Amino acid sequence: MEHYTPSTPESATAQNLRHDWTLAEIESIYTLPLPELVFRAQSAHRQNHAANEVQGCVLLSIKTGGCPEDCAYCPQSAHYKTGLEKKDLLDVDEALASARAAHAQGATRFCMGAAWREVPKGEPFERVLTMIRGVRDLGMEACCTLGMLTQPQADALAEAGLTAYNHNLDTSSEFYGEIISTRTYKDRLATLERVRTAGITVCCGGIIGLGESRRERYGLLRELSSLTPHPESVPVNMLVRVEGTPLAGQQTEDPLELVRMIATARILMPKSFVRLSAGRLSLSDEAQALCFLAGANSIFMGEKLLTTPNPETDADQRLLDKLGMRLIPQTQADAAETSAHGRG
């Protein structure tokens, strides 16, 4: 196979970012010899981001379990018996106490997730808006993942000061039906469009290890890189297998596939924050270091990602210390993501 080669080192990071990558081009990048792939990704990374800094984020489940969606990987789905305790929407004070604790740990982004198919009207949504205002008052970025949105809801989130809205595509459009039947791919893209219209930055990525082939991974990367503008935030997750879900018996994914996914995302979307997300607990320090070399520049801190385990904050700090890396300082993090894309 003939591999894609940028004409100059700067071509991948020019202001006219590409949104028309083909599957063949993406395949040629993804399958490069690993040293060459990581070199190209690191080169693109250094053109757009500090080489030795990662953003610290904390993710809190503000409403847990009972989701009517049937996502085959998710322990929060009401379709599966996973032993997860269902919890109603948190009080504002409890959510903001977690945000203050995250800030004290060095996190600059606080993410709140609610197991809803779509955002309910009335008091629950008003409560979330109050949480967002409280997080912003702490000087932190605020991100939410709440399910599908109407345009008035997206506008209200923007008015409250929401920094980013997370709504993952999960996988390629071709493989999507193997994982989820209760929401279409078009539904997801429509919510992303409403977020953009409201002026909120987009956090959108996917998961590897669902049983998809490499071709489906290329398809996901094509979908993400075709969004205009690119998502400011691209979380790359590796499946965390949970007993009771349809994917509990899925084979463990090779960590080097995660490295390839991150590196290719970095080359296709050089200005985006690429977030090393779920599945990190299964990675060795060496594998995580490779992910950073491949262009990941954000981690989720804390012992949980919504409901699945995550490395403890002390372990993260020890790893960063060993690598000579650091968290993005709180004084400069608030505008880092938006300024990289020329947004106010």
71 is catalytic: yes
Could you tell me if residue 89 is inside a domain? Answer: yes
Active-site pick, 40, 57, 74, 109: 74
Distance in angstroms (rounded) separating the CA atoms of residues 261 and 217: 8
pLDDT at 332: 52
pLDDT at 299: 86
57 is catalytic: no
275 is catalytic: yes
Beta carbons within 10 angstroms of residue 244's beta carbon: 13
Could you tell me if residue 321 is inside a domain? Answer: yes
The answer to whether the beta carbons of residues 175 and 217 sit under 8 Å apart is no
pLDDT higher than 50, residue 329 = yes
Q: Which of 83-87, 155-159, 228-232 has the lowest mean pLDDT?
A: 83-87
Distance in angstroms (rounded) separating the CA atoms of residues 162 and 133: 8
Q: What is the mean pLDDT of residues 18-47?
A: 97
pLDDT at 330: 66
Q: What is the DSSP string of 65-102?
A: S-BS---TT-TTBTTS---PPPBPPPPHHHHHHHHHHH
Active-site pick, 109, 136, 188, 275: 275
Detail the DSSP E strand segments found in 20-63: 53-63
Could you tell me if residue 22 is inside a domain? Answer: no
Active-site pick, 143, 144, 204, 291: 143
pLDDT higher than 60, residue 17 = yes
Q: Band the pLDDT of 308: cuts 50, 70, 90.
A: low
Q: What is the mean pLDDT of residues 319-343?
A: 67
Could you tell me if residue 10 is inside a domain? Answer: no
Could you tell me if residue 12 is inside a domain? Answer: no
Q: What percentage of the chain reaches a pLDDT higher than 70?
A: 88
Q: What is the mean pLDDT of residues 151-178?
A: 96
Which of 62, 170, 37, 79 lies closest to 120 in space, CA to CA? Answer: 62
CATH number at residue 184: 3.20.20.70
Query: Could you report the per-residue pLDDT of 177-226, keeping only the tens digit for each?
Result: 999 999 899 999 999 999 999 999 999 999 999 999 999 999 999 999 99
Could you tell me if residue 21 is inside a domain? Answer: no
Could you tell me if residue 18 is inside a domain? Answer: no
Could you tell me if residue 23 is inside a domain? Answer: no
pLDDT higher than 70, residue 93 = yes
Active-site pick, 57, 67, 204, 291: 67
Active-site pick, 40, 57, 71, 222: 71
pTM: 0.88
Active-site pick, 111, 144, 204, 291: 111
The answer to whether the beta carbons of residues 269 and 234 sit under 8 Å apart is yes
- The number of domains in the chain is 1
Q: From residue 270, how far is each of 227, 232, 298 by CA, in Å?
A: 14, 10, 14
203 is catalytic: yes
Q: What is the mean pLDDT of the chain?
A: 87
Q: Which residue range(s) make up the domain with 105?
A: 29-339
Active-site pick, 57, 203, 204, 291: 203
